[in-house]
């Protein structure tokens, strides 16, 4: 018997919304046709209404307009094998993905990132088409955030498998190419809260200029060169100091989790993995601290 939660509704979007979002997404840049992009949009909106009755066209348009359509178009084009899209991904997103892997799994970042990159590119062929993990990106978060979430979940899966704390059936399910939204873990909320507290304290302990660099780069999306002009620093210096500050923050958070909350090193790793891609982690709140 089919459960209601498994039913995907048929979604209709208005022609005006499809056209506007196609133009906003720059999908033509990757050779993605309006029909292909509209089909992906409808799939993503339908996922939002999973298990519900088909939404009114107006409601479907509202959800579609809330999606990160530029990232969605890129993911869709990459999944379809667009070379220009993959060149952009490799240039703009792959470095950030590997940097995230270094933060999540310092002991084996390349293995974690390489494994995920292979899944994103798609090594399995079904019905004559290469299947990419990017098929499961639905545009609700930025693509970079989604990639960090998937990396974190893969790392948590590996930690659990290594410690033999889950059944073989659960391990096999973690390897299936399904929508990689993390399963609910009873410790997750507490772990994210602990990391938030430690992160707030870590950022407050930084020098004013270090906080300002972080806020400009992560909070406001300012490019390295522009930050350098603002602070009178070379672009390479800004990059180097940001990297140093990230390492300082990680060390501070690790110490706080161990010393203030009594977590063992293995628990600290899992705690950070849970928090790495958590959308509820309020980094913006900490970055908005008064620099005065």
For 204-216, how does the pLDDT look when each residue is reduced to its tens digit (9 = 90+)? Answer: 888 888 888 888 8
Q: Mean per-residue pLDDT for 219-229? A: 81
- Range with the lowest mean pLDDT among 32-36, 176-180, 237-241? 176-180
First to last CA, the chain: 62
Question: What fold does the segment set 188-287 form as a domain?
Answer: Arc Repressor Mutant, subunit A (1.10.10)
Domain ranges of the chain: 12-79, 93-174, 188-287
Residue 22 above 90 pLDDT?
Answer: yes
Instruction: Tell whether pTM > 0.75.
Output: no
Residue 101 above 90 pLDDT?
Answer: no
Asked if 156 contacts 274 with a C-beta cutoff of 8 angstroms, the reply is: yes
Asked if 67 contacts 38 with a C-beta cutoff of 8 angstroms, the reply is: no
Q: How confident is the model at residue 127 (pLDDT cuts 50, 70, 90)?
A: low
Asked if 203 contacts 287 with a C-beta cutoff of 8 angstroms, the reply is: yes
Separation CA 41–CA 46 (nearest Å): 9
Separation CA 114–CA 224 (nearest Å): 26
Residue 25 above 70 pLDDT?
Answer: yes
């Amino acid at each position: 018997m089919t459960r209601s939660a498994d039913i995907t509704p048929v979604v209709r979007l208005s022609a005006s919304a499809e056209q506007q979002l196609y133009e906003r997404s720059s999908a033509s840049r990757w050779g993605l046709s309006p029909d292909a992009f509209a089909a992906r949009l409808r799939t993503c909106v339908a996922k939002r209404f999973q298990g519900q009755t088909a939404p009114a066209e107006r409601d479907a348009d509202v959800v579609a307009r809330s999606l990160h359509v530029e990232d969605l178009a890129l993911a869709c084009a990459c999944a379809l094998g667009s070379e220009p899209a993959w060149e952009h991904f490799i240039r703009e997103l792959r470095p950030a993905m590997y940097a995230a892997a270094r933060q999540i799994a310092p002991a084996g970042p390349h293995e974690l990132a390489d494994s995920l990159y292979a899944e994103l590119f798609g090594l399995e062929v079904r019905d004559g088409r290469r299947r990419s993990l990017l098929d499961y990106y639905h545009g609700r978060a930025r693509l970079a955030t989604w990639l960090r979430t998937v990396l974190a979940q893969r790392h948590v899966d590996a930690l659990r498998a290594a410690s033999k704390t889950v059944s073989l059936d659960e391990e096999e399910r973690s390897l299936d190419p399904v929508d990689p939204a993390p399963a609910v873990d009873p410790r997750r909320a507490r772990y994210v809260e602990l990391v938030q507290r430690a992160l707030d304290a870590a950022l407050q302990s930084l020098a004013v200029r270090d906080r300002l660099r972080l806020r400009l780069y992560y909070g406001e999306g300012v490019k390295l060169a522009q930050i350098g002009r603002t602070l009178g620093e070379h672009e390479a210096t800004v990059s180097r100091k940001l990297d140093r500050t990230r390492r300082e923050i990680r060390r501070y958070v690790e110490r706080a989790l161990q010393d203030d909350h009594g977590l063992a090193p293995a628990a600290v790793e899992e705690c950070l993995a849970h928090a790495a891609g958590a959308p509820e982690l309020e980094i913006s709140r900490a970055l908005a601290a008064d620099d005065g």
